[in-house]
Amino acid sequence: MSRRIAGPAGKLAIDDGGQGHPVLFVHSLAGNTSHWSAQLDHLRKTRRAVALDLRGHGRSEAPGNGDYAIEALAADIGMVADALGLERFALVGHSMGAGVALAYAGAHPERLTHLFVADPIGDGTQTPEAEVSPFLQALDSPAYVEVIEGYWSSIAGPNGAVLERLLRDLRETPRETVVRGLHAVRDFDPNPALARFRGPTLAVVTPANDYPYSMHRLGPGLPHLVVEGTGHWLQLDRPAEINRILDRFLKE
């Protein structure tokens, strides 16, 4: 069932279905609930599976105050969980959405049974300034479309159909959402939330996501699996494999 509920900064769109222990999915920057379609269809055979469009994405309203901080986006998760009566649930996030999921987990560890992060963002405060500043500056220039679509194409992987879909979703996402979202990623320090949430956690990453500041390398490190031969959007490139990994993890 697709509908919209009141969020902390505007109406939020959700895709809700199935019965049983709930799992809540959070998409990446410039993503939407459809990025989890394969996982929703799979899990709804045995569980309740919910996905939301974060503020400014998909069918959700953009925040009037322009707040896209990771912690602010985590409040969207809280509003959805409360509105749907999800007292305890598993939380799954991809990329920026993984950072949002972690921020929620750190603020509300008692609400979560599991935390699953797919190719998550890392400690943005540790990213080399010489690399990130020119990129962010270019996004504020007339070269925005060329720069952002070039970047998406460079991380999307070899599947042309997936790339076409991702570029379409990117073009439908407001520029302000994308730019402010990338600034929020640069400003996010996941370490405090990692220290607060000690429940079952699994990171599934691509080989390219292996820096000292990658989320699974921070602090004592997270249990993680590496999936080869895919782009950044693992769940779109290898849906059956991600479903199998997710099934095993949720049974722990």
Share of the chain above pLDDT 70, in %: 100
Contacts of 174 (CB under 8 A, 6+ apart): 56, 62
**pLDDT band at residue 83 under the 50/70/90 scheme:** very high
User: Distance between CA atoms of 53 and 76, rounded to whole angstroms?
Assistant: 9
**pLDDT band at residue 2 under the 50/70/90 scheme:** confident
Q: How many CB atoms lie within 10 A of CB 202?
A: 21
The mean per-residue pLDDT over the stretch 145-166 comes to: 97
Region of 187 (left: φ > 0; alpha: ψ -120 to 50; beta: rest) is alpha
Query: What average pLDDT does the structure give for the chain?
Result: 97
User: Distance between CA atoms of 216 and 222, rounded to whole angstroms?
Assistant: 5
**Domain 2-250, CATH 3.60.20.10 — does that match?**
no
User: pLDDT at residue 1 above 90?
Assistant: no
User: pLDDT at residue 249 above 90?
Assistant: yes
Per DSSP, the residues of 123-145 read: -GGGS-HHHHHHHHHHHTSTTHH
The mean per-residue pLDDT over the stretch 68-88 comes to: 98
Domain ranges of the chain: 2-250
User: pLDDT at residue 41 above 90?
Assistant: yes
The mean per-residue pLDDT over the stretch 173-186 comes to: 98
Share of the chain above pLDDT 90, in %: 98
User: pLDDT at residue 252 above 90?
Assistant: no
Contacts of 217 (CB under 8 A, 6+ apart): 122, 210, 211
The mean per-residue pLDDT over the stretch 146-153 comes to: 98
**pLDDT band at residue 221 under the 50/70/90 scheme:** very high
**pLDDT band at residue 143 under the 50/70/90 scheme:** very high
Question: Cα angle vertex 40, ends 35, 42, to 5°?
Answer: 120
User: Distance between CA atoms of 112 and 215, rounded to whole angstroms?
Assistant: 19
